[in-house]
Amino acid sequence: MLPRISVDSSMVGFGSGSTLFPTTAGLPLGETAYTALARMAASAGDGAAALAAAQGMVAAGVAPRLRSFTPALLAFSTAGQVQALPENHK
């Protein structure tokens, strides 16, 4: 039987926003990594950080997919803050 592991957001280092970006040690991130960062931010209830991760992907020249922006949309809509999204993301 495998042990159960509980991961707290502070253990991952995500508590203050985009603190995971420096841990990549200069390696280029792919679409999957950016999407994972967005999902982690959304699961912590931080829609702004989820959107920043998706926008960072675009800024880095990585082609986004719809699934890359979905975590931000879900986080904002769950919090009732859809109006806080930039107009081009609604």
| pLDDT tens digits along 44-89 | 989 889 999 988 889 989 999 999 999 999 998 888 887 777 765 5
Q: What is the pLDDT of residue 71?
A: 93
Q: Whole domain around residue 74: which residue ranges?
A: 30-82
Q: What is the pLDDT of residue 89?
A: 52
**pLDDT tens-digit readout, 5-42:** 444 444 344 444 445 444 556 677 889 989 999 999 99
**Interacting residues of 20 by C-beta distance below 8 A, sequence separation 6+:** 12, 13, 14, 37, 40
43 lies in some domain:
yes
52 lies in some domain:
yes
15 lies in some domain:
no
6 lies in some domain:
no
Q: What is the pLDDT of residue 83?
A: 77
How far is residue 10's CA from residue 31's CA, in Å, rounded to a whole number? 24
Count of structural domains within the chain: 1
62 lies in some domain:
yes
41 lies in some domain:
yes
